[in-house]
Amino acid sequence: MPPKVFASQACRACRRLKRKCTREVPTCALCSRLGKTCEYAETAASETTISSRLSHIEQLPHVEGISPSRAFSGISAATFFPKPAEPFPLPFFLDSEYLTSQSPNALSWSRHPYIHQIVAEHLDDDRVALCEQYLSTVHKWLPMISRKRLFDEVNSDATEVDGCLSLFLLCVKAFSTRDGECAKNSSWYLLARSLCSEAESAGFVCLRLVQALVLLSVYEMSHAIYPCAYSTLGRASRLGVLLGLHDRKNNQLFKAAETWTLREEQRRTWWTIFLLDRLMNIETNLPMTVPEPVSDELLPINDDDWEQGKIVPSEPLFTTSFSSLTSVGSFAKMCQAAHMLSKVLSHRANKRSTQDVGSLLPEALALHSALSALHLSIKEYISGTTSPDFSISGILSLSLCCSAQLALYNLYGCNEPLALVEQSRIAMETEMQSVSLAGIKSISSNVMPAIARANIECPLMAQCLYHVATECAWFVREDHEPQMYSALEDVVRELKSTGANWELATQYLSLLQQGGVLDLVNVDTDASTTVTSSSG
């Protein structure tokens, strides 16, 4: 007879009835006698239960929808997963006096082919075609990848290649595949997420792994898979800090990148993480995962030169004037908008923690002026660009700027007095309320409806569209202005069109339904009809 297994705590039924529990697994004596279901808390799980769960985790790569013949022959990914070429230098955390900076590839290259075999068992696509598909879709929103470097690696015949490149391509496959499954249960997504976790556990610290996690986070964010999106982006941020992406001058772990292209790609990847972190935290009170840019941080180069692989100068983030020899591209403007959004979120946190509103009004007016100037600069850029690809990222930068403006204006747009402040502050308070109300009305009635009519269906705009829909509804209920009805219809139509592919927009629509906003508009609920009517 096998030995009895006992839980560390009483079962839920015995604790509720305040009776002594024999703690036998799977059923205690009292529950067995009464014929009741015996349940133990998570912390009281038996060794058998834990073993069962570990077995399930190890089998994550064998998700449904992937042919058994292409699986791992019954052996989990962890068994075969390789280690980096060098072990992680423990003195980095234990005693930096004994730390020797690593070569850029020390923790990314593996001498073992297993990781490629694991991914190759599943990813039998034309990898060049897969990369082209990515560069023609997600890359237009977030151009963090170097086209030149990506194809050099994909076409390389070298025996030693970055193992995490395969993981990045697997994440690209997950992002681009519509297999009819619920996004959070997609076979490709579960496989990519599992293998990225294995790579982290194995000690890989490299740019491709960071980019794979960023892509997973964008996938989760776009499909409203929370809190996974938040935690995945945090993992990308932590690995990015280890790589020194946040402050390349004071990086201790690795030597400087060997090429200009790699340095620029590192910069763009870190800006992408920063941008996503601020966008994800607009509605939360959580501390920011990604630190603020350092004082000498550079903006990404203009997008045209980046796509062509040219080496050109970069503009600094903090500057009193811009050089006539360079131009700020659409992605750089997205970064500027994200930086301003970060300033607004910090200002909001300060406002919530102090009763002295008057002391914050000068800063609020300064933020308004800076955002207005950036808004005008982005609009001029969009009107002057001839490339449809760059106009898409330009529209995204304008949407992000609008998010920052709305977050600021909502702090001061209320008609009621903000606080009991000194008489000398009343005029400034009224001025900030005036510009806030005017700004909310302009963005809601003109700017975002025009963006919605562009119909680019990007999930990164969903939050701003939702926010504007609530503002339009407020104006409709107050004044019943025809222009606001029209604006609300445009915004809701774009959310419904976006929701055909991205669950995030659908969830925002559900919130609008709960708030009664959708009852104010007459927009066809059929996504296909919506797309047809908007394109016509």
Tell me the sheet residues that pair with 316: 298
* Domain edges within the chain: 1-41, 103-291, 294-416
Does the pLDDT value for residue 328 go beyond 90?
no
Alpha helix ranges (H) inside 354-387 = 361-384
pLDDT above 50: residue 177: yes
pLDDT range class, residue 248, cuts 50, 70, 90: confident
Report the pLDDT value the prediction gives residue 41, as an integer from 0 to 100. Answer: 62
Residue-wise pLDDT tens digits, 461-487 = 999 999 999 999 999 998 888 899 999
Task: Check if the beta carbon of residue 358 is closer than 8 Å to that of residue 431.
Answer: no
Q: What is the mean pLDDT of residues 249-275?
A: 87
Beta carbons of 329 and 302 less than 8 angstroms apart? yes
Alpha-carbon distance of 491 to 502, in angstroms, equals 16
Task: Please state which of the ranges 241-245, 302-306, 414-418 shows the lowest mean pLDDT.
Answer: 414-418
Q: Are the C-beta atoms of residues 233 and 280 closer than 8 Å to each other?
A: yes
Cα–Cα distance for residue pair 485/468, rounded to 1 Å: 12
Question: Is the CATH number 3.30.420.40 carried by domain 1-41?
Answer: no
Q: How many residues are given for the chain?
A: 536
* CA angle, residues 165, 254, 199, in degrees to nearest 5: 35
% of residues, the chain, pLDDT over 90: 36
- Given a cut of 90, whether residue 325 has pLDDT beyond it is no
- Measured over the CA atoms of residue 346, residue 351, residue 353 and residue 354, the dihedral's sign is positive
Per-residue pLDDT for 196 more than 50? yes
The most confident of 36-45, 214-223, 293-302, by mean pLDDT: 214-223
- Find the range with the poorest average confidence among 255-264, 319-328, 454-463: 319-328
pTM above 0.85, yes or no: no
Average pLDDT (163-188) is 81
Which is more confident, 445 or 111?
445
Lowest mean pLDDT among 67-76, 248-257, 314-323: 67-76
Q: DSSP state, 9?
A: S
Confidence of residue 536 (pLDDT cuts 50, 70, 90): very low
112 pLDDT above the threshold of 80: no
Name 477's Cβ contacts closer than 8 Å, sequence gap at least 6.
520
Higher pLDDT, 61 or 263: 263
